Amino acid sequence: MSDYSYIRVSTVEQNLDRQLIAMREIGIPSERIYIDKLSGKDTKRPQLQKLLSIVKPGDKVVVEAISRFARNTRDLLDLVEQLTQKGVEFVSQKEHIDTSTPTGKFMLTVFGAVAELERGYLLQRQKEGIAAAKARGVHLGRPSVSVPDNFGDYAELWRRGKLNLTMTAKSIGISKSTFYRRLREFQLRHK
């Protein structure tokens, strides 16, 4: 049975010292500390995946703060569930969560439920905000890219192989993906 630690900073420039000191103070040796210098936007971080693959029943994963382990509640609960299924405990020092105790399990569940509720409120406010903006006539999404009146001529040159895709898009002043979108729209209008 071993204690491991996971440390994460979002960029190479950020300082790891605070997290490293916290882990060394509780006696976790350097060789059992896994460090990623990446955004926490997903769980496909190399050192996190390596840690998840080597822990065994009876081990413990300690983090300085939940935010260093997972950016959102869904990822947190999924990761902790993966550890639980392997018989591995999870401890977050800052939030005082320790899944080896009934209180720790409860706190993790409460934390997850509150965060999920807040996410629901956020989505609801976002939906209401979008509806209000549309009602005011605000254009949402990517700005529309216009094409010249002679788009059909360029499309025909491209179709005949007189211009390749790159030359066609460049001549019109749009990206290749925009060319394909506008081509589909053009074809639908001119059937």
Instruction: Give all strands of the β-sheet with 60-63 in edge-to-edge order.
Output: 33-37, 3-9, 60-63, 89-92, 97-98
Token pair of 93 as six digits = 């020092």
H or E segment and range at residue 189: helix 176-189
| Alpha-carbon gap, residue 180 to 150, rounded angstroms | 16
Report yes or no: 168 and 157 within 8 Å, Cβ to Cβ: yes
Pairing of strands 3-9, 33-37: parallel
- Per the DSSP assignment, residues forming a β-bridge with 36 are 8
Which of 2, 5, 10, 53 is labelled catalytic?
10
Helices 151-159, 165-172: crossing angle, 10 deg rounding = 170
53 as an active site residue: the answer is: no
Q: How many CB atoms lie within 10 A of CB 75?
A: 15
Q: Active-site residues: which are they?
A: 10
